[in-house]
Amino acid sequence: MILPIYAFGQPVLKKVAEDITPDYPGLQELIENMWETMHLAEGVGLAAPQIGLPIRLFVVDTHPKEDDKKEKKEEPKQPPIRKIFINARKIEENGKEWTFEEGCLSIPDIRGDVDRPERIHLRYLDENFQQQEEVFDGLNARVIQHEYDHIEGILFTERLKPIKKQLVKRKLDKIRKGEVKVDYKMKFLRK
Ligand code: ZN
């Protein structure tokens, strides 16, 4: 089932999300719905707050899409991942900061350069609630850092450089009001 994606302005996107237990109602179905919703919207990651749930759950799929394969790109350091992260906690981030142009399904039509460290070291539970500890780098780290921010109530637009922040202000107001065209289902604060 395709779920509506909560748009910038929705209070749930600014909450620090909470841990869940294995008996969380309908968890398997929720995860399936998140995959379906993310793939349809052509995202590389989706966090539960983006579908209106303030829980520490996100999914990441960094496999290149057909269109991307045509472009020549630098070899990623780690192979692409397709993973579910439950109750994730950041142990540390390290390595050289690098710039990458980010976007977000909750903030359509806005992209911008964000600096983040090269690697992230995480402790999390997989879909079977088994504890995992792993270090991610390259694009995998980048997407995880973005999604991890979501469960901490942080949006990438808060990490843009001050000038760019000014530039996107009006566009953000428009998204908040639902004055934006998107080709996937969204839930705006006022509409
Ligand atoms: Zn996002």
pLDDT by position in tens, the chain (length 191): 999 999 999 999 999 999 999 999 999 999 999 999 999 999 999 999 999 999 999 999 999 877 665 555 565 678 999 999 999 999 999 999 999 999 999 999 999 999 999 999 999 999 999 999 999 999 999 999 999 999 999 999 999 999 999 999 999 999 999 999 999 999 998 76
Q: How much distance in Å is there from the Cα of 145 to the middle of ligand 1?
A: 10
Q: How much distance in Å is there from the Cα of 185 to the middle of ligand 1?
A: 15
β-pair partners for 115:
99
Taking the C-alpha atoms of residue 116 and residue 188, their distance in angstroms, rounded to an integer, is: 29
Q: How many CB atoms lie within 10 A of CB 170?
A: 9
Residues in the chain: 191
Which residues, by Cβ under 5 Å, contact ligand 1, an ion? 104
Q: How much distance in Å is there from the Cα of 104 to the middle of ligand 1?
A: 4
Just list the catalytic residues: 147
Q: Find out whether 93 and 159 touch, Cβ atoms under 8 Å.
A: no
Query: How much is the pLDDT for 190?
Result: 75
Query: How much is the pLDDT for 64?
Result: 86
Phi-psi region of 120 (alpha: psi -120 to 50; beta: other; left: phi over 0): beta
Query: How much is the pLDDT for 22?
Result: 96
Contacts 24+ apart (CB under 8 A), 159-167: 159/114, 159/115, 159/116, 160/112, 160/113, 160/114, 161/113, 164/112, 164/113
Q: Find out whether 173 and 107 touch, Cβ atoms under 8 Å.
A: no
Q: How much distance in Å is there from the Cα of 1 to the middle of ligand 1?
A: 20
Q: How much distance in Å is there from the Cα of 72 to the middle of ligand 1?
A: 25
* Residues in contact with 37: Cβ distance below 8 Å, sequence separation at least 6, in sequence order: 2, 3, 5, 46, 51, 184
Taking the C-alpha atoms of residue 178 and residue 186, their distance in angstroms, rounded to an integer, is: 9
Q: How much distance in Å is there from the Cα of 22 to the middle of ligand 1?
A: 25
Q: What are the E-state strand segments in 11-106?
A: 45-47, 57-61, 82-104
Query: How much is the pLDDT for 65?
Result: 78
* Residues in contact with 113: Cβ distance below 8 Å, sequence separation at least 6, in sequence order: 99, 100, 101, 102, 160, 161, 164
84 residue type, one letter = I
Q: What are phi and psi of 148, to 5 degrees?
A: -60, -40
Q: The whole model's pTM is what?
A: 0.95
